[in-house]
Amino acid sequence: MQYLCLIYSDESQWPGLPKAEHERVLGEYHAYTDDIQRSGHLVGANRLEPTSAATAVRVRNGRVSTTDGPFAETKEQLGGYYLLEARDLNEAIQLAARIPGARYGCIEVRPVMEMKR
C-alpha cells in the first residue's frame, strides 16, 4: 500500500540556519532518501518551493479565482513529501519517523486511496 508522508515545518526557520547546519540537514535528507530507495520503499519525493510561490485556485459558480502566496496563517507549512510503499500503517509510521523533518516539525502520514476506473 502507498502512503503519502507530508512534511510540515516553519519555513521561516530555514533561511536563518548557519550554513553548516543547513548542509548537515540536507545531508540527512539525502542519506534518508538513498536508504529508502535502496530498500524499495520510495515511490517518489519532492521538496516544494516556499509558500510565497504558491497559488490557490478556487472555482465558485463557474468562475475561477486565484490567490497568490499563502492563504492561511499557520505555524507550519507544507515543505515537501515522500510517497512510500509500505506493508501497513505501522511500517509507514516507522519510515516517516526517520524523516529528518520529524525533529523540526511534523510528518503527516496518509494512506493513498487507489483510483478505480
Per-residue pLDDT tens for 20-75? 999 999 999 999 999 999 999 999 999 999 888 999 888 999 999 998 876 566 78
Give residue 72's pLDDT: 62
Query: CA torsion 5→11→16→18, rounded to 10°?
Result: 10
**Edge-to-edge strand list for the sheet holding 42-47:** 42-47, 77-85, 2-9, 106-111
Which of the 8 DSSP states describes residue 105?
S
Give per-residue pLDDT as tens, 102-116.
998 999 999 999 888
Indicate the pTM of the whole model: 0.89
Neighbours of 10 (CB within 10 A): 13
